[in-house]
Chains A and B, each alone.
Chain A
Amino acid sequence: MTDVQRPPLSKKDYKTDQDVRWCPGCGDYAILNAVQGAFAKLGKLPHETVIVSGIGCSSRFPYYMETFGFHTIHGRAPAIATGVKVGNPALDVWVVTGDGDAMSIGGNHFIHAMRRNVGLKILMFNNRIYGLTKGQYSPTSEQGKVTKSSPLGSVDYPFSPIALALGAGGTFLARSVDVFGAHLEDVVCRASAHTGTAMVEIYQNCNIFNDGAYRSFTDKEVRDERILYLEHGKPLLFGANKDKGIRFDGNFEPQIVTGGELGSAFVWDETAANAAPAMALATMSEADFPVPVGVFRRREKPAFEAGVRGQIAAARQQKKQSLHDLLHAGEIWEVR
């Protein structure tokens, strides 16, 4: 296959011959479909694309994508993918992970990928539960969750992954939902276009161990009233008739506004230098406010691998040294 004539790609070009082994009804199917749709739209060449995953239900993802795939060990996918990207920056490197993989055992690698702004596209499937190990609470499970390992309810407070990533300096942070096919596909495309680390939190339903975790705001009947679509340059409005808005008071507390006050709704700027509005949205109560989806933050910043490669290119320009000269560097002496 040569690159001279790129045939237009369709979803099926990214399907592998492996049987998909998620539980029937799992949200992962819809995500797979949306990602394949996005890749087809972007015309990604399978042989230039690498998907690295860790451990968990979500991490089976590479087996179902006709690209290079590396299913690695628990939590370490961002670190391994960093080696892949720095090793060959020309590759299009994706990480597929989950809330246990990325937020718990791999939390350290997750935040450092954000901090460095490595050119990785991280899809974090958040189902707020451990699925593969059969249903223990995760670092994103709500407090009081009753699971096999928390029969009296979990005592832990959960993370907001977007807030964590904001704190770690993430430059592209977005959220979508497994059942929001077109929205998800669009967010994946936008993540792909970003320079540096892009992290997409995808709310995913685990119908076996945490069924309906997101129904209170994703079901068709309530969606319009409960979801806040973030759109760059537009005011934060929600509701079927866009008749409600969000603004911030002097303490950056979010407030719902309606009627005559709608004009005071905050105009969303995903490129803002100040992370406070994004942090306020990422941490506002799910019960009292609509749930934001879309792009929380998008900042231009040189990617890590470009910096690393730039230093090497400059050093190569400045200094030429043969292996012989390298070995003979320093104080040498002859014995005859």
Chain B
Amino acid sequence: MTSQTETHTRTTPTRLRRVVIRFAGDSGDGMQLTGDQFTRTTALMGNDIATFPDFPAEIRAPAGTLPGVSAFQLRFSSFDIHTPGDAPDVLVAMNPAALKMHLKELRRDGILLLNTASFGALDLKKAKYDKDPRSDGTLDGWRVIEVDLEARTREALAQSPLDTRAKDRCKNMYALGILYWMFHRDMAPTEKAIAQKFAKKPELVAANLAAMKAGYAYAETTEIFQTAYRVPPAPMRPGTYRNIMGNQALCLGLVAAAQQAGIELFLGSYPITPASDILHQLSTYKHLGVVTFQAEDEIAAVASAIGASYAGSLGVTSTSGPGMALKAEAIGLAVMAELPLVVLNVQRAGPSTGMPTKTQQADLLQAMYCRNGESPVCVLAASTPADAFDTAYEAVRIALRYMVPVVVLSDGYIANGSEPWLLPDVAQLPPIAVRYAPAGAPGEKFQPYARDPKTLARPWARPGTPGLVHRIGGLEKQDVTGNISYDPDNHQHMVDTRAQKVANIADDLPPTATLGERTGDLLVLGWGSPRGAITAAVGRLQRQGHRVSAAFLRHLNPLPKDLGDLMRGFRRVVLPELNKGQLALLLRARFLIDVQSHSQVNGQPFKSHEIENHLSRVLAELQEEVRR
């Protein structure tokens, strides 16, 4: 490969601070792979980057149709960014259906790289175009680059032994090559990755790389591309980085915490979108002593985790909303038996099967209240892919310290999105202590509910330990002795105690951090994945001089102790969340503060501009009030 500088001699590359690219094509077109390759390369080149894969639930919807369109958006920059961007600057559309689905979001004057290979009457019909959009003015206002990717790729692969179908499947790499030239990317990381991916099929490696290089050369030599762009690296905190997706980070956080605690990690799980990757990834950590169990159903998954916790392991189960519904009764047992348990819920759009690959945050009240009886659990939320590591770690710490189930809420957007992650120094990870009950003295009766006076946690009595023989279960029991008890006073006491134990978790929490001043006109609260969009919106408003701050909650139950006072320091509190106002409901009930919900439930993440517009309106109202 010729060096980067030589290849860009035709024009001086234009410097850009940030670019948003969206790849859109048929499910079978390899858009996720293409986006992933661009992301890795760009991360390695030192840009800050955020990604958003958006794919259909069907593995292969009929080719060329609107439901079959799969997309991958990424944004990279020379500064710190928080979201994968709102409107793309560049849209790669591999077929008419992808064009139809995504053109309306392309920024005016943005670049459209359009594959013209499949614009026959049937293709247009499948995409629900009455007329060819290339000739009826539909594309006016965008900078359109038409390339017959199929023809170009076949030409490039004339010598390849692959059949035509297989050759056509390399057209995404041809498109990637074009973009690599446009954005001055190094092809070497992708060459390496493809060689690894298809290590057993050298002819596929050769074809994919040939297609990519041909695309690069095509972009360089043809006149249709006016210019190449350069996005210099972002100034980032010094350290070692890797690009991480949310599900990966959850797994690493669990493993790190288990190792830190010196305890075995047991995952009981049943496959479900978008959480299955957690099961997949933890299954590859057998060399680290991680036990994974693919259960017969969601209930067995959580039940086996409870059994493992009972036996002295750290029991974990991973799922999404529908699975969470099935696990409810068993989580109640863990509450009653006071055993540590971590439940990962990678939320998706519901109700029922809903939209499995689309994101939503509507399982908060389910996490809080889906069980019968007074059944409090700790609830945490991850807010970005990298934050998922710390959140999982914190979940393990709490579960072990307080002997409680901890529900971790992530969502599809965090799970499959990615960002650069500043790797933690293992030596600096917070310690996690595990105290199993020591062997009992002969003749002494073990008291399974004798509590730690500070945390109210009961002892963790591992079977196999002499002198600890005892019985527990889902029936109400007497405090201290653990004997079955239907005594009214005891039940009141135990309900109060289980609630207090969860409330005590707040004793460990640091003051809530704010983005901006701790008092002002407007506080924007957030939890989970809207964090990026809120951060971007609030940052822009702050730069305009508004007295607006933001705070993000990882701990949703119990809430940080200072939250009430923090909210009272602002004239207005707004809470954007991807549900019908669930956290807002909880906060209003708890603090009697008029928290205003800003709700969106369309299966898509918030766009920072929409949040900014909403906040601007709220700020204008506040101004109005002052004038009056």
Contact = CB atoms under 8 A, between A and B. Distances in A.
Contact of B463 (A18, A48, A312, A323): A48
A86 interface: yes
Nearest to A63: B471
B93 interface: no
Contacts of A316: 286-287, 289
Given A88-B464, A332-B241, A80 B286 contact: no
A19 to B, nearest CB: 10
A332 B423 contact: yes
Contacts of B238: 335-336
B236 to A, nearest CB: 5
Contacts of A16: 471
Interface residues of B, number: 71
Contacts of B240: 328, 332-335
A331 B40 contact: yes
Contacts of A91: 311, 463-464
Contacts of A331: 40, 43-44, 189, 242-243
Given A48-B463, A69-B471, A79-B307, A327 B256 contact: yes
A88 B312 contact: yes
Contact of A332 (B242, B290, B293): B242
A336 B236 CA distance: 8
A141 interface: no
B46 A335 contact: yes
Given A50-B463, A331-B43, A312 B286 contact: yes
A87 B287 contact: no
B145 interface: no
Interface stretch (A70-78, A175-183, A260-268, A271-279): A70-78
A327 to B, nearest CB: 5
A120 to B, nearest CB: 10
B385 to A, nearest CB: 14
Interface residues of A, number: 62
B299 A327 contact: no
A55 B483 CA distance: 17
A93 to B, nearest CB: 9
B472 A2 contact: no
A333 B236 CA distance: 12
B259 interface: yes
B49 to A, nearest CB: 12
B313 interface: yes
Nearest to B233: A335
A319 B286 CA distance: 9
Contacts of A1: 439, 442, 466-467
Contact of B237 (A82, A324, A326, A335): A335
B470 A71 contact: no
A82 B442 contact: no
B242 A82 contact: no
Interface string B280-317: 00000111111101011101100111111111110100
A331 B42 CA distance: 12
Interface string B402-437: 000000000000000000000110100000000000
A326 B288 contact: yes
The interface residues of chain B, by DSSP majority, are classed as: mixed
Interface stretch (B27-35, B329-337, B343-351, B357-365): B329-337
Nearest to B389: A327
B54 to A, nearest CB: 24
A148 interface: no
Interface in A103-118: 108-109, 112
A239 interface: no
A321 interface: yes
Interface string B79-118: 0000000000000000000000000000000000000000
A83 B286 contact: no
A330 B266 CA distance: 24
Nearest to B192: A331
Contact of B44 (A315, A320, A333): A333
Nearest to A334: B240
A52 B472 CA distance: 10
Nearest to A316: B287
A308 B236 contact: no
B175 interface: no
Interface string A18-55: 10000000000000000000000000001111101101
A84 B308 contact: yes
B471 to A, nearest CB: 4
Contacts of A88: 311-313, 462-464
Contacts of A204: none
B469 interface: yes
Given A80-B310, A311-B286, A332-B240, A73 B333 contact: yes
B287 A81 contact: no
Interface string A292-336: 000000000000000010011001101111111011111111111
Interface string A110-143: 0010000000000000000000000000000000
A110 to B, nearest CB: 10
A76 B286 contact: no
A88 B310 CA distance: 10
A37 to B, nearest CB: 19
Nearest to A332: B242
A88 B466 CA distance: 15
Nearest to B244: A330
Contact of B470 (A3, A68, A330, A334): A68
Contacts of A90: 464
Given A47-B467, A83-B305, A76 B293 contact: no
Interface of B: 40, 43-44, 46, 189, 236-243, 252, 255-256, 259, 264, 266, 268, 285-291, 293, 295-297, 299-300, 303-313, 315, 329-330, 332-333, 337, 423-424, 426, 439, 442, 462-475, 483-484
Given A70-B471, A86-B291, A312-B289, 11 more contacts: A47-B469, A55-B474, A72-B303, A72-B473, A79-B295, A79-B300, A86-B304, A312-B290, A321-B288, A327-B256, A331-B243
When A and B form their complex, which 4 residue pairs have the shortest distance between CB atoms, in order from nearest?
A83-B307, A71-B473, A83-B304, A87-B311
Interface of A: 1-3, 16, 18, 46-50, 52-53, 55, 62-63, 66-73, 76, 79-88, 90-91, 108-109, 112, 308, 311-312, 315-316, 318-324, 326-336
5 contacts: A1-B439, A70-B473, A84-B310, A312-B286, A335-B237
